[in-house]
Amino acid sequence: MPQNLSIAVLPFKNMSSDAENEYFCDGITEEIINALAKIGSLKVTSRTSSFHFKNKEVPIGSIAETLNVTTVLEGSVRLSGNVLRITAQLIQAEDDFHFWSETWDRKLENIFEIQDEVSLLIADKIRENFGHFEMADHLIFKQTNNINAYEYSLMARFHKNKWNPEDIKIAEDYYKKGLEIDANHVDSLVGLADVYSFMAMTGVMPFVEAWEKSNKLVEQALKIDPNNPEAYYQKTNSSFFTESNFNDALKFAKRSIQLKPNYVESQQFLSFLYVLSGDTVKAKEHLDIALGIDPLSQETLFFSAYFDYMTENYAKSLKQLDSCLEANPKNIPAHSVKCLCLLMLERFDEVITYYDDIQIQVVEAEKTGTLALGYAAKKDQQNALKYLELLKEQAKTPDGFSADSFVFMLYAVMGDIDMAFDWVQKGIENKSSLLMLRYADPVVGSMRLDKRYQKFHKIVFPVDNNASVKMGKKELLDESSAFNYRSKLMEHIKQNEPYLDPTLTLRYLADQIAIHPNKLSWLLNDKLGKSFNEFINAYRVEHFKQLAKDPKNAHLTLVGMAYDSGFNSKTVFNTYFKKETGLTPKQFLKGQQ
C-alpha cells in the first residue's frame, strides 16, 4: 500500500449557464479541501497549488507528479435556480485509473449536508483503496440557516484570495453584507478578521485600528466555535504583530494545526517562529510540511527563501526571492528581504538604489530604512546619520513601527551596540510589534558577540513550554480486542460472504460486525496488512476462480462471473485479478484447460 496517502482537489468546473457562478464552484472546491485537511494522516494539497491548474489542460499524471500526490479529485458543479448537481471522480494518478465516481442532485438549501456527504465519501474511498487513517463522523457542519449569508461569504472569499487592496475592500463589503443577515456566521467573522489583518499589515487601514477590528471579530468567532482553526491562526498573527508574544504565537499556531493538520498557513508560521528563535531543525520540519502541502504557492516559496536568509544561505535565498518577484513583482515582503540579502552579500550600491526604479507602493519607512542601512554598511557616515534622523521622525507617527525597527538595525550596523540594546529594552517594555522579527535578523549579527544578546534573547524568545504537535499513529484496539474483532470479521466473511455485494463499503462492513469504521480500517491495515479493497477484492478473486473452474458456468462470460463475484467494474476486476494472481483472467482460464 502506498505510504503517501495524499490527494489534490482540482477546481470544480462551472457547468452552470451563468458564468458568474464561478465563485460558487471555487467555494465548493475550497470547502472540500478544508474538510479533508482536517484528517491528520491524509496529505491534502492546499488551495493555492490546486488552483494553479484551473482552466489548464494538463494531464492528471503530470499534475500528480508536480504536487506529489497519489490521488486526484476532479468534478463539476451545475447550479440552476435552487437545484444543485455535483459530480466528482477520484483518479489514481500512477496509472490514470478512475476508481470511483458519483453524482449528487440536491436542493441548494442542503448545501452543507451535501458538502459533508461528498467529503466523507471521498475520504472513505481513499482509505478503502490506499490505507488507514482516522476521520471524524462528520467533516462539515451547517454554518448558517441563511443560504444568502453563505453565498456572500463565498463571494467575499473569492475576492479575498486575490490579496490586493482593491479586491480586499470588495471582500470586506461582502463579508459585512453576510454578517448583516447572520451576525453569528463564523466563516464570515473569521474571514473579515483576516481582511482587517491584511489591511493592517499593508497599510490599507491604520495598524492599530485594523488589528482592533480583527481581534474583536476573532473573539466573537471563538465564542461561537471554540475549535475554529482559522480563528487560532488569526490569534497567532495578532500575538506576534501586536503583542510581541512569542509563546502565545506558538501556542495558537500549534492549536490551529491540531485542529487542521493540513493548514499550510499555520505550518508556515510555525516555521517562521522557530527560525526566528534559532531552532532551525523545527523550522525546517514545518517548512517541509508546508512545501509538501502547497509546493506551488508563492507564499510558501517566500517562507522557504526567508528560511535560507535566516540561516545565512544568502545566494540561495536571493535566487528564490527573484523567482517570487518574477511571478509577482508587487510582492512587498520579497522586495524587503531581497534588500537585506543584497546587504549581507555586500552589494551596497544595489541596496541604496533598489527602490528607485521599482513601481510599487511601499511605505516610506521601508525606503528610508533601506537607504540608511545601505549607506551605513558602505561606511558613509554622513548619509547614514541623515537617514537615521529621518527614520526617527517617521517613527513618531501612529504607524511608525516599521521606521522604529529600522532605527534598531541601523544602530547595530553603525556599531552603536549600546543604543541598539537600549532600543531592545524599550521594545520589550513597549511590546514593539517588530521586535521578534528584527532581533534575530542576520543584519544585527554583530550584537550576538555581546553578552547582553543571550540575556535579551531569552526574554524575546522564551523557552517553548507549549506541547508539541503530535500526529503520530496510535493503536485503536488493544491486543485482546483486536484478536476478538479479527475473529468476528473472519467468521462473518466465511458465513455471510459480504464481498459478493458490489455496494459493500468499509462503513457497511463495520456496521455488520458492530465496530467503528476507524477501528475496522486500523484492524485491516495494521493486523492484516491490507487496505479494505485489497482485503475484499482478494475474496472476490477467489470466488471468481471457483466459478471459472466449474463446468456448469462455461456459458458465462468473464465479466458476468466477475459481477457475480462482487465486482462492479471490469477495470477494477482486471486490475485486482492481475495483482492477486500475476495473470490476466484469460491467461488464468487458459491455464485451467
R_g (Cα) of the chain, nearest Å? 28
Asked whether the predicted pLDDT for residue 438 surpasses 50, the reply is yes
Comparing 111-120, 219-228, 479-488, the range with the smallest average pLDDT is 111-120
- pLDDT tens digits for 518-570? 999 999 999 999 999 999 999 999 999 999 988 898 888 999 999 999 998 88
Domain with CATH 3.40.50.10610 in the chain: 6-142
Q: What pLDDT, on a 0 to 100 scale, did the predictor assign at position 19?
A: 77
- pLDDT tens digits for 85-111? 999 999 988 878 888 889 999 998 888
Which whole number is the average pLDDT over 447-473? 80
Asked whether the predicted pLDDT for residue 332 surpasses 70, the reply is yes
Q: What pLDDT, on a 0 to 100 scale, did the predictor assign at position 580?
A: 87
Which whole number is the average pLDDT over 119-135? 90
Cell numbers standing for residue 227 = 475549535
Which whole number is the average pLDDT over 468-495? 84
Asked whether the predicted pLDDT for residue 500 surpasses 90, the reply is yes
Asked whether the predicted pLDDT for residue 372 surpasses 90, the reply is yes
Cell numbers standing for residue 6 = 495524499
- pLDDT tens digits for 151-205? 999 999 989 888 778 899 999 999 999 999 999 999 999 999 999 999 988 778 9
pLDDT-based confidence at residue 131 (cuts at 50, 70, 90): confident
Q: Which residue has the higher pLDDT, 375 or 333?
A: 375
Asked whether the predicted pLDDT for residue 470 surpasses 60, the reply is no
pLDDT-based confidence at residue 474 (cuts at 50, 70, 90): low
Three-state DSSP class for 83? Answer: strand
Asked whether the predicted pLDDT for residue 139 surpasses 50, the reply is yes
Asked whether the predicted pLDDT for residue 352 surpasses 70, the reply is yes
Question: CA torsion 359→411→432→392, rounded to 10°?
Answer: -60
Cell numbers standing for residue 106 = 440536491
What type of residue sits at position 426?
Answer: K
Q: What angle do CA 40, 45, 51 make, to 5 degrees?
A: 150
Threshold 0.95, pTM exceeds: no
Question: CA torsion 369→250→420→378, rounded to 10°?
Answer: -40
Q: What pLDDT, on a 0 to 100 scale, did the predictor assign at position 399?
A: 74
Distance separating alpha carbons of residues 529 and 532, to the nearest angstrom: 10
CA-to-CA dists, residue 437 to 143, 401, 460, 593, angstroms: 37, 12, 10, 76
In percent, the amount of the chain with pLDDT more than 70 equals 97
Which whole number is the average pLDDT over 472-482? 79
Which whole number is the average pLDDT over 511-517? 96
Q: Which residue has the higher pLDDT, 351 or 469?
A: 351
Q: What pLDDT, on a 0 to 100 scale, did the predictor assign at position 417?
A: 95
pLDDT-based confidence at residue 76 (cuts at 50, 70, 90): very high
Decide if 227 contacts 259 (C-beta within 8 A).
yes
Q: What pLDDT, on a 0 to 100 scale, did the predictor assign at position 97?
A: 81
Can you spell out the DSSP letters for 118-160?
HHHHHHHHHHHHH------S-S-----S-HHHHHHHHHHHHHH
Which whole number is the average pLDDT over 213-238? 96
Decide if 249 contacts 240 (C-beta within 8 A).
yes
pLDDT-based confidence at residue 466 (cuts at 50, 70, 90): low
Three-state DSSP class for 109? Answer: helix
Residue 407: how many other CB atoms lie within 10 Å? 21
Asked whether the predicted pLDDT for residue 361 surpasses 90, the reply is no
DSSP state of 528: S
Domain with CATH 1.10.10.60 in the chain: 479-592
As beta bridge partners, residue 7 has 44, 71
Q: What pLDDT, on a 0 to 100 scale, did the predictor assign at position 1?
A: 39
Asked whether the predicted pLDDT for residue 36 surpasses 60, the reply is yes
Q: CATH homologous superfamily for 479-592? A: Homeodomain-like (1.10.10.60)
Sign of torsion, CA 441 443 449 452? negative
Q: What pLDDT, on a 0 to 100 scale, did the predictor assign at position 571?
A: 84
Q: What pLDDT, on a 0 to 100 scale, did the predictor assign at position 465?
A: 63
Q: What is the mean pLDDT of the chain?
A: 91
Q: What pLDDT, on a 0 to 100 scale, did the predictor assign at position 233?
A: 97
DSSP state of 12: P
The string over 237-256, giving b where at least 16 C-beta atoms fall within 10 Å of a residue's C-beta and e elsewhere, is: bbbbbbebbbebbbbbbbbb
Q: What pLDDT, on a 0 to 100 scale, did the predictor assign at position 2?
A: 42
Structurally, at CATH architecture level, domain 6-142 sits in 3-Layer(aba) Sandwich (3.40)
pLDDT-based confidence at residue 473 (cuts at 50, 70, 90): low
Comparing 281-295, 375-389, 563-577, the range with the smallest average pLDDT is 563-577
